[in-house]
Amino acid sequence: MEIGFIGLGNMGAPMARNLAAAGHRVTGFDVSGAAVEGVAKAASAAEAATGREAVITMLPSGAILGSVYAEIVPAAAPGTLMLDCSTVDVASARDAATAATSAGLEPVDAPVSGGTGGASAGTLTFMAGGSEAGFARAVPLFEVMGARSVHCGGPGAGQAAKICNNMVLGISMIGVCEAFALAGKLGLDAAALYEVISTSSGQCWSVTTYCPVPGVGPESPADRDYRPGFAAELMLKDLGLAREAAAASDAATPLGTHAAELYDAFVAGGGRGQDFSAMLPWLAKQGRDG
């Protein structure tokens, strides 16, 4: 397939590389001028979108998505699959879908879960919003870049699912970090607590797959000095999107709100550039009243 890929950052670059390695002809563009092995370079986003069967975007915000779509929608050929894998607010995703549909294009919003490790390994999960036909066209690309894809509903539904999923993740990681920090102050061995939680009612992904304690459980960023698989500032961004969505829909999310406040304090207090699971050593340094 002829694919344009716009946004070759920490996530986009390995995703584009995997598509090229699978035999697709990928032309990429990034404002930084980044080059990716096997991916031809375009001089602009519009050039990357011209004459392609699919155009994939992986961008940092809804505002940037809107500006890029203003450039690439007029350049894309009718019927082009417009696959946006950015994590943005639901309103921006729906605006992009409306612009694409009005131009005779096929939009699918498909944010991902799995972090940079999943992007490199091709094991991402895609949460997709759009038409059944658009999702069906995207599935062969999802199968190269990821291990699972779920059609969540119409335009914006993928973003809604991502926001809800990451709110759960942010809340659960804080709970796990609090438990291990408390255990340390009680003199409890972290490995013993891991064995208890991972096999009982406290079991969750933040423990069994991504344990924030070095040397406990499967290898995770905690074992690499908390170098980010998913950076704390990105978790803060996603929790902010959840707060915006909750406000817009009049939904009560008290734990999501408090999780956002804690990640805001963590990032401001030195957590920027660390994995979101580095909440553990930060909490361990706090006293009872923070």
> Looking at the annotation, which residues are catalytic?
162
- Three-class DSSP labels, 254-284: HHHHHHHHHHHHHHHHHHCCCEHHHHHHHHH
State the helix-helix crossing angle for 232-249 and 90-102, rounded to 10 degrees.
Answer: 80
Q: Distance between CA atoms of 61 and 65, rounded to whole angstroms?
A: 6
DSSP class per residue in 63-78? HHHHHHHHHHTTTSPT
Strands 81-84 and 40-41: unpaired
- Count CB neighbours of 221 within 10 A: 23
- Write the single-letter amino acid at 128: A
Beta bridge partners of 83: 56, 108
- For residue 231, give the DSSP letter: B
State the DSSP code for 131.
-
Cα separation, 268 vs 233, whole angstroms: 9
Residue 159 tokens, joined? 């973003």
Tokens standing for residue 58: 């992986």
Helices 132-145 and 12-21: crossing angle in degrees, nearest 10, is: 90
- Match 């009049």 to its residue by tokens: 250
Rounded Cα distance between 170 and 53, Å, is: 36
